[in-house]
Amino acid sequence: MRRYIIVSFVMCVAWIDVHSQSTGSTSNLTKKNIESVARITASHINSKKTANSKDIITTFFRASIDNLLGEDRTYVLNSSFYGINRLFSRNVAIDYERERVLRHNTFNLGFTGDESSKITNIAGGLTITILDKRDIKSERYHNGEFNSLVNTEQIISGIRRGLCDYFAKFNPEYYNTKEGLKIRQAIDESWNRAFETSNFSGIDTNITNALKDYNFDSLVLTSNKTNFSSYDFQGIKENILNGGNPLTLEYEKVAMAYAQKPFWSISPKISYDRIHKQGEYSLASTFTFGLGKSHQKPWEFEAKSQFKIANDSSVISSNYNDKPLSLSIGLNKVLLENKAQESAMEFKFFTQYNYQFGNTSPGLSSNVFTLNTTLRVNLYKSLWLPITIKYDPDKGSVFGLFTLTANIDN
């Protein structure tokens, strides 16, 4: 029975993964006419978020098996309303503000099974985003992050214009002959390919020779109508000559800055305890934001709270005497990144304080303070293994929790 549940769960995750690979909204421009198909595999904003923050809210689908090695395992499937909308309305373009609301709110369904594979608990809940300044597609939380990128774009535009003015002045044959037109178009293809692949090593020598010529600088700065500084222009020109892609570098900085902005959500949840035949109710809150100025392997602050009303299992009759409040504060750190500069391993240290407003069993304290660590390891693509170790300093006891999660993002 347990094997059946796990296999069904994995197949469900795989089915959702396959059907989530959509090509995006309707477009009047057909891709069959594309001449240059090289796309930059620049990291998307979502790939800059830590796995820790993706556990709070998923942009599409998330599946997890909590307490993997314990006696009571919980299987949970989270879905954003956007994910459901995309599954059933794949080719219908929707207004971004409506899309934003759908992305920022998720629902989850889960069930807990005991070691004899009997379902002991069925739960359903919502995660509602109160604040999400990480949304790079929204113009609401602009704070000048795009200024440097826009300045770089103005300079690149000036450099492109300068190259054309340079060739028109020093190589007029490029405009007067058929062969010259082919050379000019080959120069364009070389420029386009270099920016698309961020590989300037084989860029056309006409471009590099022009960039190195002092006449080029005066052409650009003379026709500079957007008033970018000579200093910035020289910096970007040198960046290109040294093989760098200034646009991708600046865009990555913006993406990373957004990934570190604050996020706050609340999660109400209702579950049904099939053993004691009564409901349980909880309300949780999570708040995170990035720390420090470095966007490489960032630090992340997290504050969580949860209040729950449930059955006190030590009492035979139906009751709501289990009322734990849990508060935690922690720091999450990206330890390793893959080649695409996405998180591959994270470590979180957090303190947790639990207070029991309801009944406390004899011999146990109504308040418990623990020190905890979670190591998240990326197994494959969006499949993560968080391993949590809890230490109770009062009792000197240690125990661990294993979870398996898969975030299927879009």
Partner 1 sequence: MKQITIKGEFSNNGNNLLILEVYRPNVLQNPYEFKKTFTQSFQETLSDLVDETVYHIDFVGHTPEEIMIEISGQFESPNPISNSFEATGFSAGYTIKTT
- Per CB under 8 A, 44 contacts partner 1: yes
Which run of H or of E encompasses 164? helix 147-170
Whether residue 95 contacts residue 120, with contact meaning beta carbons closer than 8 Å, is answered with no
Burial bucket for residue 410 (CB in 10 Å: 0-12, 13-18, 19+): middle
Which is nearer to partner 1, 19 or 184 (by Cβ)? 184
Q: Does 101 bind partner 1 (CB under 8 A)?
A: no
Between 9 and 146, name the residue whose CB sits nearer to partner 1: 146
Binding to partner 1 by residue 191, rule CB under 8 A?
yes
The stretch near partner 1 (CB under 8 A) out of 71-79, 122-130, 135-143, 384-392 is: 135-143
Cα–Cα distance for residue pair 280/125, rounded to 1 Å? 11
Please identify, using beta-carbon distances, which residue of 200 and 384 lies nearer to partner 1: 200
d(CA 215, CA 153): 22
- Of 19, 90, 133, 161, the residue at the interface with partner 1 (CB under 8 A) is 161
Selected from 122, 149, 375, 401, the binder of partner 1 by CB under 8 A is 149
CB 330 within 8 Å of CB 351: yes
How far apart, in whole angstroms, are the C-alpha atoms of residue 212 and residue 30? 39
Q: Residue 139 interacts with partner 1 (CB under 8 A)?
A: yes
Torsion of CA 356, 357, 363, 369, to 10 degrees: 30
Torsion 313-318-319-320 (CA) sign? positive
| x/- track of binding to partner 1 for residues 15-34 (CB under 8 A) | ---------xx-xxx-x-xx
Binding mask 66-95 for partner 1 (x = CB under 8 A): -----------------------------x
Cβ of 35: how many Cβ atoms within 10 Å? 6
Pairing of strands 278-291, 299-309: antiparallel
Query: What span, in angstroms and rounded, lies between the C-alpha atoms of 329 and 302?
Result: 6
The two tokens of residue 104 are 């920022």
Is 175 a binding residue for partner 1 by CB under 8 A? The answer is yes
Site for partner 1 in 323-342 (CB under 8 A): none
Report 248-287 residues binding partner 1 (CB under 8 A).
248, 250-251
Q: Does 203 bind partner 1 (CB under 8 A)?
A: no
Residue from 12, 17, 20, 43 binding partner 1 (CB under 8 A): 43
Of 185-193, 332-340, 346-354, 366-374: span binding partner 1 (CB under 8 A): 185-193
* Alpha carbon distance 247, 154 (integer Å): 11
Short-list 360, 304, 301, 363, CA closest to 332: 301
Rounded-to-integer distance, Cα 313 and Cα 290, Å: 40
- Rounded to the nearest 5°, which phi and psi values hold at 83? -60, -45
Instruction: Rank residues 273 and 409 by Cβ distance to partner 1 and give the closer one.
Output: 409
Query: Three-class SS of residue 206?
Result: helix
Cβ closest to partner 1, residue 3 vs residue 142? 142
Min dist CB 309 to partner 1, Å, is: 40
| By the rule CB under 8 A, 212 interacts with partner 1 | no
Q: Contact positions toward partner 1, by CB under 8 A?
A: 24-25, 27-29, 31, 33-36, 39-40, 42-45, 95-97, 99, 136-139, 142, 146, 149-150, 152-154, 156-157, 160-161, 164-165, 168-169, 172, 175, 181, 184-185, 188, 191-192, 195-196, 247-248, 250-251
